[in-house]
Chain A
């Protein structure tokens, strides 16, 4: 089944403790992206990647890092999480720039930073 898989689904952590949220897609998509969703603010893009080793900032990149060493994986790294990063996170992929199809989203990771 074609899908984007995120792990974990739920995570509670403490301020300052580094964490990684994994994202993997099995569709050979070139483009991947991370979004966060907050009440009243909607979905906002954090980072995106157009292909292996090509990443760039989205609208709200502060406090996050990403890497794209393999086409299928696009982990989101929080080096020193803070309470304002408590949010619902989604990873998404699509075949590539200019692709006319839709995006496939993961099921989400609900992160709480205390």
Chain B
């Protein structure tokens, strides 16, 4: 699976949009971009994933650049409960082991 690079941390004000960047310059054609988050020491929570088109669900939006070398997770109206570590993961569906390879992620702090 391709490697991802995320800044270590960022913050945003409550109620504002949080834009979390991720670089994955070595992504291959069959690899999807996934985002998970982990609040304190709880189990990671799936947020969204995409291949090349932008995706939106009730939690967030995922914007993938045309060359697919980077993406941005957007939390449109961040709340204090969105304070967490966010992981950007690139993974293909092929292969026997559907393993997720977690990096260090980005720590998002939402301030009041």
Interface residues in chain A, defined as those with a beta carbon under 8 Å from any beta carbon in chain B: 4, 31, 33, 37, 42-45, 48, 50, 56, 58-59, 88, 90, 92, 94, 96-108, 110
Of all chain B residues, the one with the shortest Cβ separation from A31 is B98
Say whether B42 contacts A108, CB under 8 Å: yes
- Nearest A residue to B93 via CB reads A98
Q: How far is the CB of A100 from chain B (nearest CB, A)?
A: 7
Given A104-B46, A108-B43, A94-B98 contact (CB < 8 Å): yes
Bound CA span A88–B104, Å:
16
Question: Given the complex, which residues of A lie within 8 Å of B45, measured CB to CB?
Answer: 105
Residues of B within 8 A of A31 (CB): 98
Considering the complex, which residues of chain B in the window 81-111 have a beta carbon less than 8 Å from any beta carbon of chain A?
A: 93-100, 102-105
Interface residues of chain B, those whose CB is within 8 Å of chain A, are 32, 34, 36, 41-47, 49, 93-100, 102-105
Instruction: Please indicate the chain A residues that have their CB under 8 angstroms from the CB of B102 in the complex.
Output: 42-44
Show 29 A/B contacts (Cβ-Cβ < 8 Å), sorted by A: A42-B102, A42-B105, A44-B102, A45-B97, A45-B99, A48-B97, A48-B98, A56-B96, A58-B97, A59-B99, A90-B44, A92-B43, A92-B44, A94-B98, A97-B96, A98-B98, A99-B93, A99-B98, A100-B49, A102-B36, A102-B46, A102-B47, A103-B44, A103-B46, A103-B100, A105-B44, A106-B43, A107-B42, A108-B42
Q: Would you give the shortest CB distance from B102 to chain A, in whole angstroms?
A: 4
- Which A residue sits closest to B95, measured CB to CB? A97
Q: Which residues of A contact B44 (CB under 8 A)?
A: 43, 90, 92, 103, 105
Given A4-B43, A98-B93, output 5 extra A-B contacts at Cβ < 8 Å. A37-B41, A90-B43, A98-B94, A98-B98, A100-B93
* B98 adjacent to A102 (CB under 8 Å): no
Are A33 and B46 touching (Cβ within 8 A)? no
Chain A residues in 8 Å Cβ range of B32: 100
Least CB separation from A95: chain B residue: B98
Nearest Cβ on chain A to B7's Cβ, whole angstroms: 16
- C-alpha spacing A44/B100, complex, angstroms: 9
Closest residue of B by beta carbon distance from A96: B98
Complex-state Cα separation, A108 to B45, whole angstroms:
12
